Amino acid sequence: MDNALPAADPTDTTTDLSHLAFCVLVALALERQSCGVSPPYAETLFLIRWLATAQRQRRFPKSVAIDIRWLLERGRRHGAAAKLRQHLEYLWHSCSGNIAEQSDLFRLTYATETLKQLGWDNAVMSSREWHEGVLPETGATNGFYVEKAALNAAYDNNGRHNMPVEVRVVGDRAAFINVMQRHQITAQPTASLPNGHQLMLLPGAHCGSAPR
């Protein structure tokens, strides 16, 4: 799978995501009104068809093309178990407000899930594993890893990011940075490693403003 993401202004991206989720959910609501309550498999089939048509007709900006592709791939792979409607509702709720209102940890969690759904490997490592410098061998082309102790120390009980966190990235560094940026997280490259890249997730000023 191609994990390269188009660069996009974070504010525009969250607005576009909110619009996408709104349009799909409205279409689903109208379908329910005309056809009555649908079982989960029929609901999923409708959403897949709607998203496939939107993708083919390029109804939405490039900034959300990867999100449409992800929803389609998830729906086709998992069927009703994909819970597409719930994902769209989550997108709507998280993108329709100001992103500053979402906690730092919430945005990191959602960015992590986005990367994992794109096929990225991810692990939270013990201090011993981290200092040994040996990353998991999973066969994945792309992966990102963090030390558990450092991650826990960086975020307080309210989910606020208070200190930099070192992340080791294997594979497409630019794609990782782009996904973080889309979720208002600054990922700054700091060094090259024998088996990848070292980056810092920085607290404080976000990449933009605006939300899933």
Q: At 199, which amino acid appears?
A: L
Residues written for the chain: 212
Q: What is the pLDDT along the chain (212 residues), one digit of tens a residue?
A: 344 444 445 556 778 888 898 899 888 887 876 676 578 889 999 999 999 999 999 999 998 999 999 999 999 999 988 889 888 887 777 676 655 567 788 788 878 877 887 789 999 999 999 999 888 887 788 999 999 999 999 998 888 899 999 999 999 999 999 989 888 899 999 999 888 999 999 997 544 333 33
Residue owning tokens 């998280």:
94
For tokens 């996904």, name the residue: 179
Model pTM above 0.85: no
CA distances, 88 to each of 48, 76, 118 (Å): 12, 16, 17
Distance, in Å, from the CA atom of 47 to the CA atom of 51, rounded to the nearest integer, reads 6
